[in-house]
């Protein structure tokens, strides 16, 4: 009698089936999640990690012998693979006309000289540094001078180059520290402008290069996921890139967000991710000790990314990124 009363495999594990359905819907409809309190941005920042719930739910479904839960799990698996499956294999190609690199060197970096030497040894032709402080700027200029005869710095961002630079100007990213103002060192609050645009003279013609460090994000009691400053910067940067007349453009920077975040649609609709097109894996860059998100980006337009990679750790809390591009 007890065996006859026991629910069948299609009726067992209804809670697990519901959770699998919810997971699939979050992955499928993440762009429609409200961004009130930054909820949508928070979900999209860690969207790839939602795939870890699949094996957990699968183990539960097998333990409960729930055919319905196993069947519903097909939805999140298919959606996750559609979103991120392309990142699981190596898409890089040999060669490239130019190597570009970007690094948030961190204002609290205990060894800027060592960081500079490591970056100089990377072989990059163009090296973008963000979160430069007046105190450390001289160290980077000294250590990088031999490898990079040309450089330009605007505020807390700079570009070091093996090729001549011209037409350098700041880019307004509407920077506002807001509730974070009291947490920032004085030398980092010297300017609200944390982006620049310059032209690199290559043997294939001029290349417009942007270097940007968008505003910070924070989980704040009573305010949720605070992204206001970053979001304004992303919109302003997108508008600036849209107005760029040069056909060949490279954007290097710390976005303080992943490209899955809807706020970067103005950039991703006009530019391509080097990691997405020519990388191997997710290329997480932050935090350096156990990276969980790729917030350091290399975007291109009018040139082709041949390979993209994450460089070894330095004294920063970010990992450097590099890409080979070709005409």
Q: What is the pLDDT of residues 73-125, one digit of tens each?
A: 999 999 999 999 999 999 999 999 999 999 999 999 999 999 999 999 999 99
Q: Are residues 30 and 149 in the same domain?
A: no
Structural domain count, the chain = 2
Task: Tell me what the mean pLDDT of segment 299-326 comes to.
Answer: 98
Q: Are residues 201 and 318 in the same domain?
A: yes
Among the candidates 88, 122, 145, a domain finishes at 88
Residue 93 belongs to some domain of the structure: no
Q: Are residues 34 and 162 in the same domain?
A: no
Q: Are residues 163 and 143 in the same domain?
A: yes
Q: Are residues 83 and 105 in the same domain?
A: no
Host H or E run for residue 196: strand 195-202
Residue 23 belongs to some domain of the structure: yes
The Cα 143–Cα 115 span in angstroms is 9
The Cα 250–Cα 163 span in angstroms is 15
- Domain membership of residue 46 as a residue range: 2-88
| pLDDT of amino acid 127 | 98
Q: Are residues 36 and 104 in the same domain?
A: no
pLDDT tier, 189 (very low <50, low <70, confident <90, very high otherwise): very low
Q: Are residues 225 and 317 in the same domain?
A: yes
- In the predicted structure, residue 181 carries a pLDDT above the cut 70: no
Task: Tell me what the mean pLDDT of segment 240-260 comes to.
Answer: 97
Whichever domain contains 153, its CATH number is 3.60.10.10
Q: Are residues 288 and 185 in the same domain?
A: yes
The Cα 143–Cα 118 span in angstroms is 10
The Cα 110–Cα 131 span in angstroms is 14
Taking all residues of the chain, what is their mean pLDDT, rounded to a whole number? 93
């Amino acid at each position: 009698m007890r065996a006859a009363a026991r629910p069948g495999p299609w009726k067992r594990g209804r809670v697990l089936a519901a959770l699998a359905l919810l997971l699939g819907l979050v992955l499928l409809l993440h762009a429609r999640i409200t961004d009130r309190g930054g909820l949508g941005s928070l979900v999209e920042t860690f969207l790839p990690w939602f795939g870890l719930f699949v094996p957990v739910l699968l183990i539960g479904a097998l333990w409960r012998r729930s055919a319905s839960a196993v069947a519903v799990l097909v939805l999140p698996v298919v959606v996750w693979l559609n979103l991120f499956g392309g990142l699981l294999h190596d898409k890089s190609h040999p060669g490239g006309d130019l190597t570009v690199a970007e690094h948030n060197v961190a204002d609290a970096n205990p060894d800027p000289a060592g960081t500079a030497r490591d970056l100089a040894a990377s072989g990059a032709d163009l090296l973008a540094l963000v979160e430069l402080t007046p105190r450390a700027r001289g160290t980077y200029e000294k250590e990088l001078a031999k490898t990079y005869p040309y450089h330009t710095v605007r505020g807390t961002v700079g570009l070091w180059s093996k090729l001549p630079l011209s037409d350098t100007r700041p880019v307004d990213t509407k920077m506002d520290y807001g509730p974070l103002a009291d947490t920032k060192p004085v030398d980092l609050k010297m300017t609200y402008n944390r982006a620049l645009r310059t032209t690199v003279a290559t043997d294939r013609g001029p290349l417009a290069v942007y270097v940007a460090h968008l505003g910070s994000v924070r989980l704040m009691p009573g305010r949720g996921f605070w992204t206001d400053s970053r979001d304004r910067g992303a919109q302003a940067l997108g508008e600036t890139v849209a107005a760029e007349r040069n056909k060949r453009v490279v954007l290097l920077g710390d976005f303080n967000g992943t490209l899955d975040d809807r706020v970067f649609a103005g950039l991703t609709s006009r530019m391509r991710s080097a990691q997405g097109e020519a990388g191997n894996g997710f290329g997480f860059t932050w935090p350096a000790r156990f990276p969980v998100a790729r917030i350091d980006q290399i975007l291109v337009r009018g040139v082709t990314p041949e390979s993209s990679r994450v460089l070894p750790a330095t004294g920063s809390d970010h990992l450097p990124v590099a890409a080979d591009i070709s005409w």
